């Protein structure tokens, strides 16, 4: 890894983030999922994947994507770390950016862009794992939701019968 000096022009590996709205990968835009119970009956419940918060299921979800970029800047400062093995750069300050790690700083645009592409690839692999996990747990959440609402409906039905029995209208 190269070491740069204050005043050097360097290239910084970065990404330009953007929000992307996609169709819900669990309900496919239908805003509900159907759970098949053990007795083969079917129960529809709101999709929890795209239905977080008070607005309920939206049929879509927001994901984040990024475009790898390389930015030219000037080294305006650096923090050094001294150990028994020698001195190394802990981070650089580049123009308005501070605390840029040395592995993000490169001597030329092509190397910086290649590093940004690799960082994006690693990030997207993590996002794919996260999405897979969320898709895997969504049906489990739906079955819990079905059980909860069926239990609460039964309790309410029993309360309704009890209170209607206590408040009989006499003529």
pLDDT in tens, 43-78: 888 888 888 778 889 999 888 888 899 999 998 988
Q: Which of 6, 64, 50 is nearest to 142 (CA)?
A: 50
Parts of the chain with a pLDDT under 50: none
Predicted model pTM: 0.57
Q: Which of 102, 74, 104 is nearest to 88 (CA)?
A: 102
Report how far residue 135's alpha carbon sits from residue 146's, in angstroms, rounded to the nearest whole number.
Answer: 17
Q: What is the pLDDT of residue 50?
A: 87
Backbone angles phi, psi at 107, to 5 degrees: -80, -25
Q: Which of 55, 74, 62, 71 is nearest to 4 (CA)?
A: 74
Partners of 153 in the β-ladder: none
Report how far residue 101's alpha carbon sits from residue 21's, in angstroms, rounded to the nearest whole number.
Answer: 31
Report how far residue 145's alpha carbon sits from residue 37's, in angstroms, rounded to the nearest whole number.
Answer: 12
Q: How do the domains of the chain map onto residue ranges?
A: 9-166
Q: What is the pLDDT of residue 38?
A: 85
Report how far residue 12's alpha carbon sits from residue 150's, in angstroms, rounded to the nearest whole number.
Answer: 55
Q: What is the pLDDT of residue 116?
A: 92
Residue 50 CB neighbour total at 10 angstroms: 25
């Amino acid at each position: 890894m190269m070491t740069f000096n204050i005043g050097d022009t360097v290239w910084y590996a970065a990404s330009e983030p953007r929000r992307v709205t996609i169709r819900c990968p669990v309900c496919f835009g239908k805003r509900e999922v159907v759970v098949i119970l053990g007795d083969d009956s079917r129960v529809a419940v709101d999709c929890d994947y795209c239905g977080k918060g008070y607005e309920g299921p939206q049929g879509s979800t927001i994901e984040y994507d990024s475009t790898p970029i390389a930015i030219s800047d000037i080294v305006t400062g650096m923090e050094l770390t001294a150990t028994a093995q020698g001195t190394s750069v802990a981070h650089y300050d580049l123009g308005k950016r501070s605390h840029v790690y040395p592995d993000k700083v490169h001597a030329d645009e092509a190397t910086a862009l290649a590093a940004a592409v690799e960082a994006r690839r690693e990030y997207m692999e993590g996002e794919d794992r996260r999405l897979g996990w969320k898709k895997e747990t969504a049906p489990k959440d739906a079955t819990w939701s079905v059980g909860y609402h069926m239990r609460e409906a039964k309790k309410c039905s029993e309360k309704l019968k009890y209170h209607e029995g206590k408040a009989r209208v006499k003529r």
